[in-house]
Amino acid sequence: MGIVLDKFSNNWFNDPVRLIWYLIAYLPVGWPVLKRAWKGIVSGNVFTEFFLMGVATLGAFGIREYPEGVAVMLFYTIGELFQDAAVLRARRSIKALLDVRPDVVTVMQNGQAQLVKAATVAVGAIVQVKPGEKVGLDGTMRSESGTFNTAALTGESVPRTIEKGESVLAGMINQQSLIEMDVTTPYQDSKLSRILKLVQQATGRKAQTQEFIARFAKIYTPAICGLALLITLVPYFFVADYQRDAYVFRDWLYRGLVFLVIGCPCALVISIPLGYFGGIGAGSKQGILFKGSVFLDLMTQLKTVVMDKTGTLTKGVFKVQEIIPIGIDAGKLARLTAALESKSTHPVATAILAYAQVQDQEKGYESISIEGVEEIPGHGLTGKVDGKQMLAGNAKLLQKFGISFDDSLTMNPYTVVMTALDGQFSGYFTIADEVKSDAAEAIKRLKADGIYTVMLSGDKSAVVEAVAKQVGVDEWHGDLLPEDKVTQVERLKADLSINPKSKLAFVGDGVNDAPVVAMADVGIAMGGLGSDATIETADVIIQNDEPAKIATAVAIGRATRQIVWQNITLSLVVKGIVLVLGAGGLATMWEAVFADVGVAMLAILNAVRVQNLKF
């Protein structure tokens, strides 16, 4: 509005009305910057970008170029808002959001079940855990046995059967029957509590990357201020004695202030945050969330990518890989086994049921007669199916009933469900966590970018090795606890420490991954199925759980950095030319403004371009 009045009103829009009008526009955007500049001066850090903004805009007001003073501060403030918004919206309190431990547990007191705060439960108390509930404290199994989902805690893809007297850890999920356990560890010292503590410690070790504009300003700001001062004062000493009356301080002060305003990095402070903002937008279109522009830069420096197995490279869902019948038709074996497994809620049973439905939709297992089904914990199922006595379970089940089978099956890295009919071995099913369709492509793309790939997992080493060979990672390790993953990542980071610009990323999805996600230079979480702890700790989130998006994130980071440096180069080159013209008195204030705004517009258009690129 002030610029419009400047243009069309020549009668009343003069000082002091004009000054007051522009001051009203200036203070909301300028005061916070001036305040931060003053704090920098008081603390001894004088030449900051805030100082440059303050001197440049106050100088513009000093020579009565109010529109430029307001515009420069407004553009700077908008740029800062763009830069901060992505981080502030995505980052929340880790402490508040990481704590996924149950607040209350069911404690048995005098034969009665009572809800008690988990933090107040004493060691030795008896805790009851219902099916589907998460265990809130570490303890030992009091009941005969129970089946637990431990994927979030250890990364194991196969649910674990825990017998009486064995350890139960906080964070496990009871999958089947009601169980009781004896508490052995205080709430604050449980396994899950230690994991959360590792996350907080790792977050504290994460290096804070200084923004480019702050580093640049340490050189650029004093240089521009010094040159402006020299332009104002030095000509006095080069004018001959008889010509010194020709030296008019106001004229050279005006030229110095023009130089100062020209030196204001308006195009830079717009192009840098908007370039990164465009990169963040491009990531969003691909289902990738970057929690701040710094992580776009770090993606370009990745030399090692470490990945979890379950939920990252695999789906975390059981699927029958093959069926090997012995003396029976494969379809019939599938139907008979599915009929028996229909009486179980175990995930392995669910996989066999799904397989039977897909393989033989016309002849369903539902019509097969089933009698006397018994589940033997940690072994499998027995029952009479279609008039035949049938067994379906692991090697221990068949050994229990004296049925012989090929011993090599016990060496299979995957889950093997063996079957027997009327005392005779009748074949087996191989069941495994299915590898994601784009996992191998993801590894191939990362390798093509010169990135070393590593897989770490709490699953059995044999399973990890089989998956590693299938997808093609360079290095793999299995049977790892959360602490072991931290040790491995620390080792890999130490190997990269020779080159400070070589960075490491960790990709995971479970609570057990949160510590290493936090301590990595770039923490990447699978956001679709990942735990809240890992997602909130991560710096980059793959929202659709596709591992190939890791390579896409690297490509977006590189394209964004290239565009940002194009903008920086354009801005500095044009700025340098106009500064020379301004120092020589060949460029007026409005010419400088035109050149600066023109460059800023080109930088904005270039920044937007990243969102239209194909990755």
Q: Which residues on neighbouring strands pair with residue 456, listed in sequence order?
A: 308, 477
Helix (H) or strand (E) holding 348: helix 347-359
Helix (H) or strand (E) holding 417: strand 415-421
Q: Which residues on neighbouring strands pair with residue 325, listed in sequence order?
A: 427
Q: Which residue type, as a one-letter code, is found at position 26?
A: Y
What would the two tokens of residue 186 be?
């205080």
Classify residue 134 by its DSSP letter: B
Closest CA to 394 of 385, 386, 403: 403
Kindly list the catalytic residues.
308
Omega prior to 32 cis, within 30 of 0? no
Classify residue 124 by its DSSP letter: T
Specify burial of residue 494 (Cβ count, 10 A radius: 0-12, 13-18, 19+): exposed
Closest CA to 593 of 274, 264, 268, 220: 264
**Pairing status of strand 522-526 against strand 288-290:** unpaired
Strand order in the sheet with 145-149: 160-163, 145-149, 173-174
Decide: helix, strand or coil at residue 561.
helix
Contacts of 479 (CB under 8 A, 6+ apart): 458, 459, 460, 461, 464
Strand order in the sheet with 452-456: 288-290, 540-542, 522-526, 503-508, 302-308, 452-456, 475-477
Contacts of 552 (CB under 8 A, 6+ apart): 286, 288, 615
What would the two tokens of residue 500 be?
């400070």
Q: Which residues on neighbouring strands pair with residue 180, listed in sequence order?
A: 128
* CA–CA distance, 535 with 126 (Å, rounded to integer): 33
Q: Are 155 and 459 in contact (CB under 8 A)?
A: yes
What would the two tokens of residue 332 be?
């019939």
Q: Where are the beta strands (DSSP E) in 150-234?
A: 160-163, 167-168, 173-174, 179-183
Helix (H) or strand (E) holding 317: strand 314-325
Q: Which residue has the tokens 């070790």?
A: 205
Q: Which residue has the tokens 């009305």?
A: 17
Report the b/e string of 478-488 with b at 16+ CB within 10 A: bebebeebbeb
- CA of 304: how far to CAs of 201, 232, 298, in Å? 22, 53, 12
Q: Is the torsion defined by CA of 610, 611, 612, 615 positive or negative?
A: positive
Decide: helix, strand or coil at residue 58.
helix
